[in-house]
């Protein structure tokens, strides 16, 4: 039997998070989040600069024999990783939230060493618009903690990666 204390705590949590639930239900959260994410990314990237540079150092190795490199980013958000991708790389941006568009454009303007394919508004679980075995690299940072079905995202990654 649930104790009174548990019931109280549950109610308290609900009351405290009510504004967030309202933001989510009305869709305002989805609109507001990109601005917040973009702002946080600026200081996060400063702190993580060396780590990200090391992490993405080997991306260029996956280029075709003719030097072409197609990279798809799942949940690209505001495009925080663009500056770490190698020169000439073609980036396919995907994110289920269309409101990132404005911030994505800013990051694209700041990283002109890349070629950008269209911004696809899709979630990682269902990227059917992306052909089988059509990309050399898939990148996904700070995303899998918020996807509903990690297994399906990984299946999609396997499908679209060149063998």
Contacts with ligand SAM, residue ranges (CB under 6 A): 37, 41, 74-77, 80, 95-97, 123-125, 141-143, 146-148
Q: Which residues bind ligand NAG (CB under 6 A)?
A: 32, 35-36, 39
**Burial class of residue 138, CB neighbours in 10 A (0-12, 13-18, 19+):** buried
Minimum Å gap between C-beta 128 and ligand NAG is: 32
Q: Which of 111, 81, 77, 107 is nearest to 94 (CA)?
A: 77
3-state secondary structure of 117: strand
Sheet containing strand 115-120, edge to edge, reads 115-120, 90-94, 70-74, 137-139
Q: Nearer Cβ to ligand SAM, position 64 or 129? A: 129
How many of the other CB atoms lie within 10 Å of CB of 88?
Answer: 13
Minimum Å gap between C-beta 40 and ligand NAG is: 8
Say if residues 147 and 125 touch (Cβ distance below 8 Å). yes
Per partner kind, with CB cut-offs from 5 to 8 A, the member of ligand SAM, ligand NAG, none near residue 124 is ligand SAM
Per partner kind, with CB cut-offs from 5 to 8 A, the member of ligand NAG, ligand SAM, none near residue 37 is ligand SAM
Per partner kind, with CB cut-offs from 5 to 8 A, the member of ligand NAG, ligand SAM, none near residue 90 is none
Per partner kind, with CB cut-offs from 5 to 8 A, the member of ligand SAM, ligand NAG, none near residue 160 is none
Say if residues 92 and 71 touch (Cβ distance below 8 Å). yes
Minimum Å gap between C-beta 39 and ligand NAG is: 4
Minimum Å gap between C-beta 84 and ligand NAG is: 22
Q: What are phi and psi of 111, to 5 degrees?
A: -125, 75
Q: Nearer Cβ to ligand SAM, position 11 or 98? A: 98
In whole angstroms, give the CA distance from residue 145 to residue 109. Answer: 28
Minimum Å gap between C-beta 84 and ligand SAM is: 11
């Amino acid at each position: 039997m649930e104790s009174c204390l548990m019931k109280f705590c549950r109610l308290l949590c609900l009351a405290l998070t009510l504004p967030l639930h309202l933001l989510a239900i009305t869709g305002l959260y989805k609109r507001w989040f990109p601005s917040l994410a973009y702002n946080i990314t600026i200081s996060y990237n400063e702190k993580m600069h060396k780590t990200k540079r090391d992490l993405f150092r080997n991306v260029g190795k996956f280029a075709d024999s003719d030097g072409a490199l197609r990279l798809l980013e799942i949940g690209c958000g505001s495009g925080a990783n663009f500056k770490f991708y190698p020169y000439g790389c073609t980036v396919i941006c995907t994110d289920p939230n269309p409101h990132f568009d404005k911030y994505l454009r800013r990051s694209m303007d700041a990283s002109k060493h890349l070629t950008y394919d269209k911004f696809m508004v899709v979630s990682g679980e269902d990227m059917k618009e992306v052909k089988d075995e059509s990309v050399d690299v898939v990148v996904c940072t700070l995303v899998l903690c918020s996807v509903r079905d990690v297994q399906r995202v990984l299946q999609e990654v396997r499908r679209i990666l060149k063998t």
